[in-house]
Amino acid sequence: MPDPSPAALMGERRRLINLAYRLLGSLSEAEDVVQETYVRWYAMSRERQEAVESVGGWLTTVATRICLNLLGSARARREQYVGHWIPEPLPEPTERLDEPSGAATGDPADRVTLDESVNMAFLVVLEAMTPAERVAFVLHDVFRYPFAEVAGIVGRSPAACRQLASSARRRLRDARPSSGRVPADRAAGIVKDFKQAWEAKDIGALIGLLDPAVTAVGDGGGRVTALPYPVEGGEQVARFLVGIATRVPDLTLVERTVNGRPGLLAQHAGATVAVYAFDVADGRVTHIWGVLNPEKLRQWTT
């Protein structure tokens, strides 16, 4: 095999970042994984590098195995996490606040492709899977690796990987039935109406936009105040939101794309203090995820 050039090696970076983010739900951790993957490549002797048949395959295998190890330890870490752990929200590249509107942002290789496999509802379901289920499902169903290759990466038989992916699909179907889901443009209209009702402190309008069984959760990470338990029910969530608007009268809400779906950005005194992601079904908001942990807002702040 010809010696891979640095450009060819780094050309795999974006795909690896996309893979690791979906596996871990954290862009910062995904970046660390990819950096460690390249460190291991360059730590090998020239002879060992030349023995690698597919550089992309080698990098994918190493990055996935690092993620698999991290997922095992992440469960223990998140049991000690203060409050609810919500995946790190990502903006559209053109909506990052540290760049002029419409400008190219940062290193293109670092951008995560925002498709249906990174919306917040999808990532939250991935969090409920076992590490093996998550890896087998993401590799096969999202990145289209055949089960024979998935087996070689995770160290299980193709049949076992097929069962893991099937189990993951059942979890996804049970948690997010396809019936009732609305397209992004319609969801954007509902989120817009939600924003206006929240700003107006209109409890009745909010209740009309919320599913009766809506659930709202917040992630402050112990760094900022956030409820340690979910708020459930349309009226309860509406009153909770109006309470926030009353306590923080100069809170500004801005419509943004959050992980590829319509969401809201909350600013106070010119600083980004929260990002809200939504799941919408049958014309109503069914889930609200509020990320307030400053460590998870670095993509949204200057």
What's the predicted TM-score (pTM) here?
Answer: 0.88
pLDDT at 4: 67
Read off the pLDDT of residues 75-108 as tens digits, 9 standing for 90 and up. Answer: 777 777 878 899 999 998 654 444 433 333 444 4
User: What is the predicted pLDDT for the residue at 179?
Assistant: 60
- Read off the pLDDT of each residue in 106-132 and give the average, rounded to a whole number: 78
| Tally of CA atoms within 13 A in the half-sphere of 22 that contains its CB | 27
The mean pLDDT value for 141-161 works out to: 94
User: Can you tell me the mean pLDDT for 130-140?
Assistant: 95
User: pLDDT higher for 222 or 122?
Assistant: 122
pLDDT at 176: 75
Percentage of the chain exceeding pLDDT 90? 69
pLDDT for 181-215, tens place per residue? 788 899 999 999 999 999 999 999 999 999 999 99
Q: Which helix (H) or strand (E) holds 48?
A: helix 46-50
Nearest one of 131, 118, 95 to 265, comparing CA atoms: 95
In the chain the beta strands, taken as DSSP E runs, fall at 210-219, 231-232, 252-258, 261-268, 271-281, 284-291
Q: How far apart are CA 184 and CA 181, in angstroms?
A: 9
State the pLDDT at residue 183: 86
**Residue 17: pLDDT above 50?**
yes
Paired residues of 262 in beta bridges: 257
Strand-pairing partners, residue 272, are 267
- Supply the pLDDT for residue 94: 54
Under DSSP, the state recorded for 160 is H
User: Lowest mean pLDDT: which of 5-14, 80-89, 108-117, 120-129?
Assistant: 108-117
* 207-226 average pLDDT score: 92
| Residue 92: predicted pLDDT | 84
Q: Looking at per-residue confidence, does 250 or 228 come out higher?
A: 250
Q: What local confidence, expressed as pLDDT, does residue 98 receive?
A: 40
State yes or no: pLDDT of 11 exceeds 90.
no
Please classify residue 132 by burial: count the beta carbons closer than 10 Å to its beta carbon, then call 0-12 exposed, 13-18 middle and 19+ buried. buried
Q: 43-47, 55-59, 288-292, 298-302: lowest mean pLDDT where?
A: 298-302
The strand pair at 210-219 and 261-268 is best described as unpaired
The residues near 236 (Cβ < 8 Å, ≥ 6 apart) are: none
- Percent of the chain whose pLDDT exceeds 70: 90
What is the gyration radius of the CA atoms in the chain, in angstroms? Answer: 21
pLDDT, average across residues 56-68: 95
Checking if the pLDDT of 35 tops 90, the result is yes
Instruction: Give me the pLDDT at residue 226, please.
Output: 82
